[in-house]
Structure 1
Amino acid sequence: MNDTTADGGAGTATPDAARRPVIVSVAVAFVYLTGLLSILLGILVLLSRYTQSSSGDVLVVSLIGAAIILVGLLIIGIASGVARGSRLSRIALTVYLAIQVPLHALAIATADFDWIAAIQLALEIFTLVVLWLPPTNRFFRAAANARR
C-alpha cells in the first residue's frame, strides 16, 4: 500500500510531525505547560505585592513577578522551534529554564507561593531532563541534518 501526499506523490517521505518521537512531543507539551504555569505564577507573585509591608519589598516582588511572566512568554515563544527540532531553540529554552530556577527560588523566599513554585520547579527540571535525553538528541541531530 503506497502513502500519497497532498501533492499527489506516492511513497514520499513522511512529514516531520510523523517522524518526531513521542518523547519529543511530550517535551514540547511540557514546554508549553511550563510556560503557561510560569505566566500564572508570575501573575500571582505580581499580585502578592499588595500584601507586602515595606515599599522595598513591593518593588522586589513586582520585579520578580514581571521577570517570571517575561521568561514564561519567551518559553512559549520558543516551543514551536523545539517542536521543529531547532538546536538553537533547545539551547535557548535551556537558558530560559536556567533563568527560571533562581526566579522561582526568589518567589518562594519573598511570596507565599511555596507549593506552586516548587511544582513549577519540578516541572522545569523534568522538562530539561526530557529535552536532553538520547532519543531527543537523535531527533535534533536528524532535524539538523535534514536542513543541510
Structure 2
Amino acid sequence: MDDTTTGADAVTATTDAARRPIVVSVAVAFVYVTGLLSILLGILVLLSRYDQSTSGEVLAVSLIGAAIILLGLLIIGIASGVARGSRLSRITLTVYLAIQVPLHVLAIATADFDWIATVQLALEVFTLVVLWLPPTNRFFRAAAGAGR
C-alpha cells in the first residue's frame, strides 16, 4: 500500500472541497447581510414598543423584537459553517430563516416598519433559493465527502 497516493488523494479531495463556487460565496454574503439586517430590524421593533398604548402590546412587540435580534445573531454565527460547506449549518440556517418569516410578518403587523421587513423577507427568500441551488448542493456534497 502506497502512503503517498493516499495522501495525494486526500489533498486533492480537500482542495476540491476548498474551492467554493461563486454561488456559495454569494449565499454566504447574503447570509451575513440577512443577519445584520435582522439585528437592525429587531432593534427598531424593540424601540417601537414605546409607541404602543397597552402593556400587552408593549410585551408582544418587545418579545418580537428580541426574537428577531436573537435569530439575527444566530444567523451570523452559522454563516461560517455554511462557508465551510457544513450540511448541518445549511439545514439549521434554513430553519432559522423559516422562523424569521412569521416574525417579520408580525413585525409588519405590530410595528411601522413595513418596507424594512418586506426587504428583509425578500432577501431571506433569495438567500434560501441560492442556498439550495444545484451548484450549492454539489459544493455541500463535495465538502461532506472530503470530511469523511
Matches of 2:116 and 2:39, distance apart in 1: 12
Matches of 1:146 and 1:140, distance apart in 2: 10
Matched residue, 1:109: 109
| Percentage identity across paired residues of the two chains | 86
Q: Kindly report the root-mean-square deviation, in angstroms, between the aligned alpha carbons of the 2 structures.
A: 1.4
Report the CA distance between 1:23 and its aligned residue. Answer: 0.2
> What amino acid maps onto 2:112 in structure 1?
D
SS in 2 for 1:24: helix
Matches of 1:116 and 1:124, distance apart in 2: 12
Q: How many residues align structurally?
A: 137
Matches of 1:16 and 1:28, distance apart in 2: 16
Matched residue, 1:119: 119
Q: Deviations over 1:72-106 (max 9, x none)?
A: 00000000000000000000000000000000000
Considering Cα pairs closer than 8 Å and 6+ residues apart, tell me whether 1 or 2 has the greater RCO. 2
Matches of 1:140 and 1:53, distance apart in 2: 49
Extract unaligned runs of 5+ from structure 2.
Answer: 1-10
> What amino acid maps onto 2:70 in structure 1?
L
Correspondences of 1:54-133 after superposition (within 5 Å): 54-133=54-133
> What amino acid maps onto 2:109 in structure 1?
A
Q: TM-score under structure 1 normalisation? A: 0.89
> What amino acid maps onto 1:130 in structure 2?
V
Matched residue, 1:23: 23
Q: TM-score under structure 2 normalisation? A: 0.89
Report the CA distance between 1:123 and its aligned residue. Answer: 0.1
Correspondences of 1:5-16 after superposition (within 5 Å): 13=12, 14=15
